[in-house]
Amino acid sequence: MNFGEHVMIDGYGGSPELLDDKKLIFSCLGEMCELMKMYQLGKPQIEHAPDNHMKDPGGWSAFTMIAESHISIHTFPRRRFISADVYTCKTGLDPNFIANFFKKKFKLEDVELNFVKRGKKYPKHNLA
């Protein structure tokens, strides 16, 4: 028993054009909510992050708060890289489904997938 699940995706070799497509990134937040039957608490936010002259050459950061927790996407078009999180208090997520969603949307060559069960010590009597 656990409180929730957290899927973390790091994608490599993606399409620079798709990773820099504000509308696509924004739409992924809503589409993921629909596919996972999650409820958005407000309008998703997306902002362009400038080059920080270190390892981050800039890209898009997008976030939506959901009743079940949050979904975030960070793209780095010049590095052909994406980092995305899907965290929910629901259980029974299919991490491979989520990884494949991002792989297809951004034409990723490789995906690193991490899956964490959250709140393993959350009181069991509160999980029902």
Which residues are catalytically annotated?
Answer: 69, 74, 89
For the record, the structure tokens of 35 come out as 């596919």
Q: How many CB atoms lie within 10 A of CB 13?
A: 13
DSSP 24: H
Helix axes 22-36, 95-106, angle to 10 degrees: 160
* Residue 80: alpha-carbon gap to chain centroid: 16
Q: Minimal CA–CA distance to 64: which of 93, 31, 100?
A: 31
* Neighbouring residues of 100: CB distance < 8 A, sequence distance ≥ 6: none
Which two tokens mark 29? 């937040």
